[in-house]
A and B are shown apart, each in its own frame.
Chain A
Amino acid sequence: MQFIRAHVLVCGGTGCMSSGSRQVQAGLEDEIARRGLDNEVKVVQTGCHGFCEMGPLMIIYPEGVFYVSVKAEDVPEIVETHLYKGRIIERLLYREPLSQKSIPSYDEINFYKKQRRIILSNCGHINPDEINEYIAAGGYEALGKALTLMTPAAVTEEVKKSGLRGRGGAGFPTGMKWQFARQSPGEKKYVVCNADEGDPGAFMDRSVLEGDPHRVIEGMIICGYAIGADEGYIYVRAEYPLAIKRLRTAIAQAEEMGFLGKDVFGSGFNFALHIKEGAGAFVCGEETALLQSIEGRRGMPRPRPPFPAVSGLWGKPTNINNVETFANIASIIVDGAEKYAEIGTEKSKGTKVFALTGKINNTGLAEVPMGITMREIIYDIGGGIVDGKKFKAVQIGGPSGGCLPEDMLDLTIDYDSLTAAGAMMGSGGLVVMDETTCMVDVAKFFLTFTQSESCGKCTPCREGTKRMLEILTRITNGEGREGDIALLEDLARGIKQTALCGLGQTAPNPVLSTLKYFRHEYEAHIKDHVCPAGACSNLTGYTITDDCRGCGMCKKVCPVGAIAGEIKERHVIKHKVCIKCGACEGKCPFKAIRKGA
């Protein structure tokens, strides 16, 4: 007899896998079989739930109980107590950090309450390796509707009306892009999905591909129909092996079911889909470099125009969108453009997935309506700053984006407000920083990244970012010179105006935005030789305050003999000798030793 009465959903996203979900799932399957429950309980591996901080995650249906931080040792208890006897295991429930209340169900957790999940609606709730679960959740209805009830022009018009803008960076209206490709003359056209997600701290595209690959595939096929293309490529970076594996499975299943291939839905429309693995160059996320790379050439950008819509892959008209953009298409077609456009602000419609990382309590993925404030994302969904420290800045948009300070927390987020503030939507990576982060150091970090990823084709980017990085390194080493700030600004302006592609044009943004909002930190480094955050080791020293009682503990623990003073008298640190190891700070019983200026 087989009657499945319970489903155990184990998260198989990359985050949960690295915290041990594979062992949990294997243990679970063994234990269920050992208890003879394998005919009535089904274990399902899902994609990412977004709440990676609390992984590995598990949901047990029919109750819908949500367990967090599940370890392999917990498995026997889960099978015995929950699956056999039907009792909820209190200690594995999520505990709200503020109220300390345990919460059994998913929707009542603050992290999820303020989210609006459209793109991520299936992620964590269906098995991504099983096309049937996608269909049961309403999948491929959009494709059927588009192919059998709408003309290609009507599909394009619907996407235009929805107000959807590209989720990969620049925010160009997607419907317009489709229309350009549609109107380009030519028999052969291509659809390309940019899945070369490379911004530090961004992982929304990976999660969508891993958790709901069919949603992206469906969006691409619809695009093919709209612009008149019969072939598509997904360009995925090789660093996403799980995403590639799930995509391969998904494509094979879609072919078998007839969603890909010849005469889809009896409409006479044909579409074939291929995967191209990228080799890890950040610049290949730039569309012209990406197309070169698919063609088997060195991934370097070329000047535009001609735009890919006119001359793209192998010189044919090509429409290229990123993963999250394609993931929006199905709901626009099924629910209609008007319904979709109800969400968001005047010029930015729909939802956006943000990846929360850095000094934030709830690391993970949050899908929110456009127009939400940064404060809501960081405090309500993200649970605030780690260890109760003070918020300093949030970096948004990756290496092309900028840092926003505390007084911008109430900014409503959309494409235009972020650009006006000196940042950009980018792919939606949010890196949260607290008071111990040095903003010059942050600018240096991002510039180091773009500098090493610069392809070297154009001089402003190749040489300019190098010079900027040299100056930043000098400043953080305490060797900043008078005039460095002006020089940085001058270089930044030049690079922005003259670099060939988006990588170079936006590379100075982290420097410019930190100069805009945290100029005093640069000045402190250069003029006072001090790092206000206490992060740059050359510019940080320890001092002993008036709270010193002269106990001598610090003197004893100092490995280099840098502390002088008589018992019961205030001690002093000889800065020339001090190696800034911090041992004295940890030892002082009176908290009289402070780091910083």
Chain B
Amino acid sequence: MKSLEELKKLREKLQSDTKLRAADGIKVIVGMGTCGIAAGAREVMAALMEEVKKRGLAGVVFQQTGCIGMCEKEVLVDIILPGAPRITYGNVRPSDAGRLVAEHVINGQIVKDLVVAKSV
């Protein structure tokens, strides 16, 4: 370790590993009820994580949730950007992961054809 600058740079790099222990950031919530799992929620979540990983995005937090009653439209995925309303997508397939991450997570553009609800 040769300078304070070097330490600060290293710290920023390392913080991406522990960042998910802080409460802020972008949230991606996947419906993991029995209905969701049956409709392929695990595969959708894996595809979304793959996409986030591939693009090297820091500060994206994945959570799961239970059945919210719209079993017909599973797999349901919610994306919440800080300060923005919660957008719920329905009938999500692993092949949609690229669009959701590129358009919504990165650019903040809602993927209109998949949206089923919006709540604050």
Q: Please give the residue numbers on chain A whose beta carbons come within 8 Å of chain B beta carbons, in ascending order.
A: 1-7, 40, 61-64, 84-87, 125-126, 132-133, 135-138, 140-141, 144-145, 148-149, 257-259, 264-266
Contacts and interface: CB of A to CB of B under 8 A. Distances in A.
Interface in B1-34: 1-4, 7-8, 10-11, 14-15, 17-18, 20-21, 23, 30, 32-33
Interface of B: 1-4, 7-8, 10-11, 14-15, 17-18, 20-21, 23, 30, 32-33, 37, 46, 49-50, 52-53, 61-66
What's the dominant secondary structure at chain B's contact region?
Answer: helix
B49 A7 contact: no
A5 B49 contact: yes
B113 to A, nearest CB: 26
Most buried by A among B33, B37, B52, B53: B53
B7 to A, nearest CB: 5
A133 B18 CA distance: 7
Given A2-B53, A138-B11, A144 B4 contact: yes
Contacts of B4: 141, 144-145, 148-149, 265
A215 B37 CA distance: 44
A257 B14 CA distance: 14
B57 to A, nearest CB: 10
Nearest to A84: B32
A137 B14 CA distance: 9
Contact of B49 (A40, A61, A138): A40
Contacts of A5: 20, 49, 61-62
A135 B65 CA distance: 33
Contacts of B37: 85
B23 A1 contact: no
29 contacts: A2-B53, A3-B52, A4-B20, A5-B20, A5-B49, A5-B62, A62-B23, A63-B63, A85-B64, A86-B30, A86-B63, A86-B64, A125-B21, A126-B18, A137-B18, A138-B11, A141-B8, A141-B11, A144-B1, A144-B4, A144-B7, A145-B4, A148-B4, A149-B4, A258-B1, A259-B1, A265-B7, A266-B2, A266-B3
Contacts of A135: 7, 10-11, 14
Q: What 9 A-B pairs come out closest when comparing CB atoms?
A: A86-B64, A5-B62, A144-B4, A258-B1, A3-B49, A3-B53, A136-B14, A62-B61, A266-B2
A410 B104 CA distance: 56
Given A5-B49, A85-B32, A136-B11, A62 B2 contact: no
Contacts of B62: 5-6, 62
A87 B66 contact: yes
Contact of B17 (A64, A86, A132): A132
Contacts of B32: 84-87
Contact of A144 (B3, B21, B65): B3
A6 B20 contact: yes
Nearest to B15: A136
A86 B65 CA distance: 5
A472 to B, nearest CB: 51
B3 A265 contact: yes
Contact of A3 (B10, B21, B50): B50
B82 to A, nearest CB: 14
B87 to A, nearest CB: 18
A255 to B, nearest CB: 11
